[in-house]
Amino acid sequence: MVKQAVIKLNVVIIVLLLLFSISTTTVGAYNFSVSGQAAILMEQESGRVLYEKDAHKQLRIASITKIMTALLAIESGKMDEIVTVSSNAFGTEGSSLYLRLGEKIKLEDLVYGLMLRSGNDSAVAIAEHVGGSLDGFVYLMNEKAKEIGMAKTVFNNPHGLDDHEEHYSTAYDMALLTRYAMKNEQFRVISATKSYRAPQEGENWDRIWQNKNRLLTQLYKYSTGGKTGYTKRAKRTLVSTAAKEDVHLIAVTLNAPSDWQDHMNMFNWGFDSFEVFPVVEEGIIDNLKDNFYKNKVSANYTFEYPVTSEEKQFLSKKITLYNPPKGNEWQENGVPNPVGKITIDLNGTTIGEVPLSFVGEVTIEKKSFWSKLVDLVFLTLGVNKDG
């Protein structure tokens, strides 16, 4: 009997372990699972992490590496330049645009081929042109990663092939990269392109590339772009973006057998559960009790944050202002800018600050005849009237 009980207990433990190996989140009407070894869902504007599963675990990332490669090419300001395909680029293994040795092609066309068809030959051609060499470009990749805050990322090539052991990132870092990249209009356009036609040197027909991102082309109507990836060691990796009304989301999965479904599950849950709520509105701050500041202080910009309907009650705001000036000190020294701030908390945690500006007129204190006479007497005697 004891042996049977032990066996049953072991079975229960195994079943529980299997259940918890797939991260499940329940909010509102949704109950979803994620097949990926690591995953994250981030709201794009605020950077708030809405969902995560081992999001800081370092893993191989395959071709989603090319988001960084495309970004650096765009930021280089060389998109109109002509690139000559080297033997190094021509001989790159894996997915390819089938560039010819010595072929001349516009850098912009290479970036489209990189993002839509995931051309590894394109990645090398871009890297050599923008960075001067592969090593030079890898240096730029890692410097940019530091700038963005990708603390657990190391790049060693521009395409994500498994030719270096030290080439990895995390779901969180890749979401940070994508959030940064999506601020660039040209990147947004390229990432959202379903089909692209590129002229081919010496031919009377163009190359036509279809985007490999099936969320964008077939599966998900709210998709706004992203990048696919796969190698034998990294398995399936995917970065995707989606927008519905005023909510913009970023999803990342690493080593995810069912990545398309993972991303749709996360997006649907995110859109259903969160709204981007205007916590602070730009403009004059109402209901200030201080008579000096009343109707004279303005929030510099609107602060919005993704929250659930339940979380709204836990939002709080605190206004901090400089003490009103004594006498005419602001006329003499200038009005402080900002003059204060609004601190926004959610559940006791600060989620943002909005600077406040003084927009009213500073009235000059008018002194009576006797006050002026007292000032003159003290000035004549060389005494400070305040002591």
Considering the chain, tell me which residue range(s) the CATH 2.30.140.30 domain(s) occupy. Answer: 277-358
What is the per-residue pLDDT across 87-108, written as a single tens digit (0 to 9) for each? 999 989 999 999 999 999 999 9
Which residues, other chains included, contact 289 with Cβ-Cβ below 8 Å and sequence gap of 6+?
A: none
277-358: CATH class = mainly beta
Provide Rg for the chain, Cα atoms.
29
Q: What's the token pair of residue 277?
A: 């709520």
Catalytic residues: 63, 66, 118
- Environment class of 342 (CB within 10 Å of its CB; exposed 0-12, middle 13-18, buried 19+): buried
pLDDT reported for residue 24: 43
* Torsion 86-91-97-100 (CA) sign: positive
Is pLDDT larger for residue 137 or for residue 374?
Answer: 137
Q: What is the pLDDT of residues 229-241, one digit of tens each?
A: 999 999 999 999 9
Q: Confidence band (pLDDT; 50, 70, 90) for 385?
A: very low
Q: Say if CB 216 and CB 223 are below 8 A apart.
A: yes
* Comma-separated ranges of CATH 3.40.710.10 domains in the chain: 29-273
Q: What is the mean pLDDT of residues 134-156?
A: 98
Q: What is the 3-state secondary structure (H, E, C) of 5-55?
A: HHHHHHHHHHHHHHHHCCEEEEECCEEEEECCCEEEEEECCCCCEEEEECC
**Residue 383, pLDDT score:** 46
Return the CATH superfamily for domain 29-273: DD-peptidase/beta-lactamase superfamily (3.40.710.10)
Q: Could you give the CA distance from residue 98 to residue 119 in angstroms, rounded to a whole number?
A: 8
368 within 8 A of 351, measured Cβ to Cβ: no
Q: Are 44 and 251 in contact (CB under 8 A)?
A: no
* 207-211, 289-293, 311-315, 316-320, range with the lowest pLDDT: 289-293
pLDDT digits (tens, 9 = 90+) for 2-44: 444 444 444 443 333 333 333 444 444 457 889 999 999 999 9
What average pLDDT does range 262-266 have in this prediction?
97
Query: Can you tell me the mean pLDDT for 52-70?
Result: 98
